[in-house]
Amino acid sequence: MIGAFMAILNIQITNASLLDIEGGIGTGVDNGSWISTSYLIGEIIVIPLTDYLSRVFSFRNVILVHATLFAIFSVACAFTSDLPSMIAMRGLQGFFGGVLIPMAFTLVFTKLPKAQQPIGLAMFSLAVTFAPAIGPTIGGYLTENYGWQTIFFVNVLPTAVMVTLLYFTLDRQPMQLKLLREGDWLGIATMAIGLSALQSVLEEGNKDDWFGSPFIVRLAIIAAISLSLFVGIELTVEKPLLKLRLLTQRNFGIGTVAAVFIGFALFGSVYLLPAYLGQVQRYNAEQIGAVLAWTGLPQLLLIPLVPKLMQRFDARLIAVTGALLFALSAFMNTTMSLDYAGDQFWVPNIVRAVGQALLLAPLSSISLGSVAPQDAAAASGISNMMRNLGGAIGTAVLATIVVKREQFHSNIIGQSVHLGREEVRARIAQMTDYFIAHGVPDPTNARQQAIIALGNAVKRQALVLGFSDTFAIIGIVLVLAAIALMLTRKAASGGAGGGAH
């Protein structure tokens, strides 16, 4: 669970500090997004590979080696001095850290007694929902007080503790190197190429004007062809990398769809809040982190109570309640104004924290409740990959919607702000006097400054309305997740994992 927490934490820990990192390694804002993209590419490739790697090299060897290398490449990121080396180190950090997420999930279903599985699921959901919320808080605080390099050292001590404890407690198993000959290598190649290209399209598309960019078009074609081949291969080969046929099981299939929606909302909201506070309210990294903390900290109190709830109530009821509360928190942010800042996010963030706390553990119980124990690792890889993919899609879609809706609202407001209106002329005159009184002696120049300031005010108001619209999208997606969860069958009592076949 420590490993899963650290791996997920590192997806978001650079978000609030991106401008500082870009300055530190001497790259522009346009290229800096690859610092996050490369980590996600590494992680999303290795998650579905985890089951195969653990069968070939043994569960124990894979988790110990990957966790150690995760810490090493984390530290290496702090010593990079240019963008290419940062992209390489972050990609390797994501690749070696990515296995820790599905492996933690698999341990719940293969090592814990059935009665303790709800506790394990609650701990896993704490990693999945608390880590993204607290990541920018930790990153922002460290960056503002100690420099951006320090955010890459936070992994060292927890990983050392984890590796030490697992070294003495995990069962030793023989490696099965003969499985390398039976590997689904064509499936692995098409998956790696397809997911890398798709992740790059999602992360870079908005910045590069989507299909107006030949680079994005080429990547999209590569992704479509590679992933189509991958699905075809997985459904026809005797020993597939991913057991996609597991998706035909009702609860696992519907639960995976719900996981995509929840990943969309979870990672999308963690993207939107810092973006709004930074772009509209001009918050620094530490201030952004303090606001997001109120999404994370309440979960520390609430998630330990979820296993008790799962023993008394239907997991579907708990999960649907969590999804609807999460949706409510998003809808609460759809009426924002220029005065809407950190204090106004307090109540919605508390509601969101309650919703997220109630959501992940019951969802995992519903999805994995009918999966056979021998398929738990494969199902874990599919579920975690799809949730992360949903998060990548959510971030890309919401970033585009902010831009498009800001342009829409700017045009609407701009139609009312013209010199033919007395209120506009009066406002410009008032602002001209303000600039003259504050050191702009030339009246013509002062009037020009006033017109620019009025245009910026229109743009800022339009940006607020654009962000409000995107929160509505998150709310709608979460309602769809709740509807999907209602279509599942009742999960096995006690939590999860492998009872029914």
In angstroms, rounded to a whole number, what is the distance separating the alpha carbons of residues 96 and 100?
8
The pTM assigned to this predicted structure is 0.82
Do residues 391 and 413 share a domain? no
Residue 107 lies in a domain: yes
Tracing tokens 């998150």 back to the chain, one arrives at: 474
Do residues 345 and 474 share a domain? yes
C-alpha 283, offset from chain centre: 21
In angstroms, rounded to a whole number, what is the distance separating the alpha carbons of residues 259 and 362?
11
Do residues 415 and 337 share a domain? no
Do residues 446 and 355 share a domain? no
165 contacts 187 by C-beta, under 8 angstroms: no
Q: What is the total residue count of the chain?
A: 501
Do residues 67 and 18 share a domain? yes
| pLDDT, tens only, 64-107 | 999 999 999 999 999 998 888 998 999 999 999 989 988 888 88
Burial 347-377 (b: 16+ CB within 10 A, else e): ebbebbbbbbbbbbbbbbbbbbbbbeeebbb
Do residues 22 and 86 share a domain? yes
Q: How many domains does the chain have?
A: 2
Do residues 274 and 126 share a domain? yes
Do residues 271 and 420 share a domain? no
Residue 447: domain span: 409-459
The amino acid sitting at 442 is D
Do residues 313 and 430 share a domain? no
Q: What is the pLDDT along the chain (501 residues), one digit of tens a residue?
A: 889 899 888 877 776 677 788 888 877 666 666 787 788 888 888 888 888 898 899 999 999 999 999 999 999 999 998 888 998 999 999 999 989 988 888 888 788 888 888 888 888 888 877 887 788 788 888 888 898 899 999 999 999 999 999 999 988 989 888 888 888 889 889 988 998 898 888 877 877 778 888 989 999 999 999 999 999 998 888 888 888 888 888 999 999 999 999 999 988 888 888 888 888 888 877 788 788 877 877 888 888 888 888 888 898 999 999 999 999 999 999 999 888 888 899 999 999 989 988 988 888 888 887 788 788 888 888 888 888 888 888 888 888 888 889 889 888 887 777 676 777 778 888 888 878 887 777 778 878 888 887 777 888 889 999 999 999 999 999 999 999 999 998 865 544 444 333
Do residues 29 and 102 share a domain? yes
| pLDDT, tens only, 223-256 | 999 999 999 998 888 888 888 888 888 999 999 9
In angstroms, rounded to a whole number, what is the distance separating the alpha carbons of residues 375 and 501?
10
Do residues 447 and 337 share a domain? no
C-alpha 455, offset from chain centre: 34
| pLDDT, tens only, 119-177 | 888 888 888 778 877 887 888 888 888 988 999 999 999 999 999 999 999 889 898 88
